[in-house]
Every structure is written in C-alpha cells, then in structure tokens.
A and B are shown apart, each in its own frame.
Chain A
Amino acid sequence: MMNLYTWLEATSLSIWVREAPTIWAFATIITLHTFGMGVLVGASAVLDLRLLGIARTIPLGPLSTLYRVMWAGFWLNLVTGSLLFAADATSRGTQWLFFVKMSFVVLGVVATVRIRKHVYGGNAEPTTVDATARRLAVVSLAAWVLATTSGRLLAYVQ
C-alpha cells in the first residue's frame, strides 16, 4: 500500500497540486473542496430538516431538485478530494482520522441515496414522511456533521 502511496505522491500531477507556486494549484483545489462541501452538506441539511418536520409547508416533490445540487457538490468534491489525497498520499493514507472521515462520507452518501429511494421511490409527489425517512434524515445529518468535523480536523491531527 505504501508503495502505491509513494508512487501516487510522485506523479507529476501530485507534484503540481502540492508544489506549484501558483494560486491555481493547491489553494484553488482546497477552496473548491470547501465550496463543494457547503453545497453538498448544505443542500442535504435542507432536505433532512424538512424530513424532520422543519418548514412542513414546503412540498416534498419539488425538493427532489436538491439531489441535483447535492450530486454536483459530491462530484466536485470527489475530484478535488482525490487530487488533494494524491498530493499527500503517504500522510493522508496513514492518518486514522482520514479513514474516519471517509467512513462518514460513505455513510452520508448511503443515507442520502436511501432517502431518495425511500421518499421518492414510489411517488414523485410524496406527502407524508414516515419514521424510516426521519431515521434516515437523522443518520444523514449526523454523518455529514461528523464528516465535516473530522475533515476539518485533518489539518490539526497527525
């Protein structure tokens, strides 16, 4: 595994991301990663809050539009996150907190996808929220909060 990390870190793309003396390399990539987080976690929070009973007058049907917003944030962060990982593969790949973060990201994505199946699967204009949907919303909210927290703490924990 370490060989793979070392190789990954030594690719010219990784070196560029890590070392290029330009604002368009590391600085822009990490800023896009933060922006993608705001989009994904923020849009997901709006849907979760609605499922948990906040702003019940918002009809659920049109809110499925938010899935497009969430996926945009997700893909942006998959790309920027992969670049950031490749640039620091030997340190990130051996950092326990990084795997904690990734576990929460996976949990968040799974919960978010399951909400879509459960709430919108049989009906494009659902009107009720059952206990399963509420449980999934709690899982999604908690997963994104923990993913964001552990991601931010990566900068401070070895």
Chain B
Amino acid sequence: MLPHDVTHLHLLLNHVPTVGTMIGLGLFVMSFVRRSDHLRHISLEVLYLIALATLPAYVSGLAAQAQVIGRPDVSESAIVAHHDRAMVSFMLIEITGFVAWLGLWQYRRLARMAAWVSPAILALGVVTFVVVGDAATVGGEIRHPEIKLDEAAVTAGGWFPAANVAELVTTNPWVWPAAEALHFLGLSLLFGVLFAVNLRLMGGLRGVSFAALHRLLPWAMLGFGVNLVTGMMFTIAAADQYITNTPFHWKIAFMMMAGANLLYLTVYDKLWELKAGQDPVFLDRAIAMSAVALWIGVIYAGRMLPFLGDAF
C-alpha cells in the first residue's frame, strides 16, 4: 500500500538516510578490506544515489512537520530538535554524495581518484552516520512515548538550528533575491553543460569524443550544487509555499531521475568509449533525449511553481 499522506511518506523515506548511509559506508569500508576497486565504485555510487534519495526524505519531513505540529499528542520541542539534526544530516549527506561523485568522475577520467577522496568519504561518512543516528533517535521522540527519553536529551544540542536558516533568509531583504539570481545562474550552467553532453549522445557535436565532453561534467555539478543550496534556502525559509505545491513534487521527482542520469553519464563505460565521429546508438539517443526532457521538466515545474501551484 502506498503512503496516503506526507507524514506516512516521511515515515517510509526517513530510513533512506540512516540505512542508506550505513550501507554505503559499510560497502566503502569493505572495499578496503577486500582490496576491491569495483566494490569501492559501487559504494560511491550508492552514496551518490542515497544523497539524491535523501532530498525527498528531508522535504517530506518539512511537510510532515507542518501537518503534525501543534497537535496535543506530539512533542513540538522534539520536532524542532529533530529538524535541526535532520537539516545538518541532510547537508552532510549531500556533501558526501558530492565528494563520492567527484571520486567517480576522477576515476573515470584518470583511472584513479585523488588521494584526499577516500579519507574525506570515510570522515564524512562517520560524522554523517553519528548525526543522522541522532536525528533519527530524536525523531522517534516525536510520537513514540513508550520509548521516551528525558526532555533534556531531546532539547539539548541544536548547535545549528534550522530556524536560523529561515531567519537569515526572511529577515534580510536581499538574501531571497540574491539566492534567486544565483538559482538562475546555476540553472543556466547546469542545463547548458548537460545539454551539450547529451547533444553528443543525440547525434550532434559528432566531431567531439564523449570523453572530451565528460571533462565539463563538474561544471554541471557546480550548477546543481548552487541550486541545491539556494533551492533549500527557499524551501526551509518558506516551507508552506512548497510542501503542498504539486509542481514542487514533480520537480523533485524529475530531479531524482535526472540526477540518476548524471551518474550514468559520469560512469558508464560505453559512453566513455564513444570516439569522435562515432554515431551514438539508438538507446544512447533515447536516454539522452529523456534526460534533456527531464531537465526541461525540472525548469518547467520550478518556474511554474507560482502559477500551477496554489501558493505564493
């Protein structure tokens, strides 16, 4: 049965960051024990995909928060404490996913990763695991009175409160417009680079090898990163505008699929081997066209938020 509301959806998705980090980090450590490059790549791919899937986990939490806060049977302080920890977990998981992606990109290009990548993944993974575990424990306090900790344990900490992010965005009148401008610049960079790379797979730019275009991918990732940061600033500061907005749900769904495509462009052997002058096969063309359509879908749903949605 599918979850019938956002709170149930969050109860389903909240396992992704915790269990996912454990599996990704576990495979990563295992790859050193077994001295397996192959396993290391898989672990990095898992960490990247977990970072993608953590986006709906976090956003569904914002929606669940709006739905249950104020009810007499849920603890508001536990919700706030959970959100503070969840936001930091979300940031750590995204950074880990980004570093994992960078490692995969380097490996594809140079047949080895930079020396700092593995220690960084290990350190980030361990810190993330601790923080996300804490977020999950405090999250359990929201509606599990049978395992209740004392109140002090719930309200303690919060060294980087989500409320501060919301305040930063809403009290400085220039922050929102500046973030919007950056969001549009990130959009252009992301779309421009990925359009060029996918154009090669759709039959254009035939004189360029795929490997040469692969060099541009970190610039797309930079655009993605800028837009993730600015986009989450909007979402955290004005959650009500987004969480019940249908085009926002579409936008996240398109982003998941397009983000998975970005991983495919980064690591897939057959694409890497496409030489200058070689024609892409039918499947390459179909996937590239879908990817471009998905990114257009992300832009469309994003720009249509105030018009198709009922907010703003």
Contact = CB atoms under 8 A, between A and B. Distances in A.
Interface in A5-58: 23, 26-27, 30-31, 34-35, 37-39, 41-46, 49, 54-55, 57-58
Determine chain A's interface SS by DSSP, over half rule: helix
B304 A27 contact: yes
A31 B303 CA distance: 6
Nearest to B204: A65
Interface residues of A, number: 38
A148 B181 CA distance: 7
B215 A54 contact: yes
Contact of B207 (A59, A155, A157): A59
A7 B150 CA distance: 70
A71 B239 CA distance: 38
A149 B215 contact: no
Given A59-B276, A148-B188, A31 B208 contact: no
> Main secondary structure on chain B at its contact with chain A?
helix
A117 interface: no
**Most B CB atoms within 10 A — which of A59, A61, A155?**
A59
Interface string B69-100: 00000000000000000000000000000000
Interface string A136-152: 00000000110011011
Interface in B265-279: 276
B113 interface: no
B211 interface: yes
B188 A55 contact: no
Interface string B164-202: 000000000000110011001101111111011001000
Given A54-B215, A59-B208, A37 B188 contact: yes
Given A38-B192, A58-B212, A153-B181, A31 B206 contact: no
Contacts of B177: 152-153, 155-157
B192 A41 contact: yes
A61 B277 CA distance: 13
Interface residues of B, number: 36
A108 B207 CA distance: 27
B188 A46 contact: no
Contact of A31 (B187, B207, B209, B304): B304
Contacts of A58: 208, 212-213, 215-216
A42 B189 contact: yes
Contact of A42 (B193, B208, B296): B193
Nearest to A55: B215
A58 B189 CA distance: 18
Given A55-B213, A62-B205, A65-B205, A38 B187 contact: yes
Contacts of A153: 177, 180-181
Contacts of B282: none
A62 B206 contact: yes
Given A38-B299, A61-B207, A149-B181, A55 B308 contact: no
Given A31-B300, A59-B208, A148-B181, A38 B188 contact: yes
Given A46-B192, A152-B180, 10 more contacts: A26-B307, A27-B308, A43-B192, A43-B195, A45-B189, A54-B219, A58-B212, A62-B205, A148-B188, A153-B181
27 contacts: A23-B307, A23-B308, A27-B307, A27-B308, A30-B303, A31-B307, A35-B300, A37-B184, A38-B191, A39-B191, A39-B195, A42-B189, A43-B192, A43-B196, A45-B192, A45-B193, A46-B216, A49-B216, A49-B219, A54-B219, A55-B215, A62-B205, A65-B199, A69-B195, A148-B185, A152-B177, A157-B177
Interface of A: 23, 26-27, 30-31, 34-35, 37-39, 41-46, 49, 54-55, 57-59, 61-63, 65-66, 69, 144-145, 148-149, 151-153, 155-157
